[in-house]
Amino acid sequence: MTAVTRTVRIGSSHGLHARPAKLFAQAAKDSGLTITVAKDSGKPVNAASILGVISLGVEQGDYVTLSTEGDGAEAALDRLSELLTTDHDAE
């Protein structure tokens, strides 16, 4: 299997705090894939773990790298990338 990675810029004006982190972690969990997320060149954490995601301390404009592999990997990262680039604080 080939690993799929995607680097995206965070769009939420307050970064990945509770609400966007919860949406992101839930979507990662729902994908059924093991997905990791890392800030810059930091240690990757489980994307389905809300505490792991919040612990990254991601702010607006930061770059994160998503990684996964398996069936549906591209589609899963497309969906997660869209969640990360959307400003959930503007709604």
Task: Count how many Cα atoms sit within 13 Å of the Cα of residue 46 in the half-sphere of its side chain.
Answer: 10
- At 90, list the tokens: 């503007």
Quick: pLDDT tens for 48-89.
Answer: 999 999 999 999 999 999 999 999 999 999 999 999 999 877
> Known catalytic residue: 17?
yes
CA distances 18 to 5, 71, 81, 89, Å, are 24, 29, 17, 11
Nearest to 7 by CA among 61, 66, 58, 56: 66
Extents of the domains making up the chain: 3-85
> pTM of this prediction?
0.92
Q: Looking at 17, 22, 29, 79, which residue is catalytic?
A: 17
pLDDT of residue 88: 76
The matching CATH number, chosen from 3.20.20.80, 3.30.1340.10, 1.10.10.10, 1.10.3210.10, for 3-85 is 3.30.1340.10
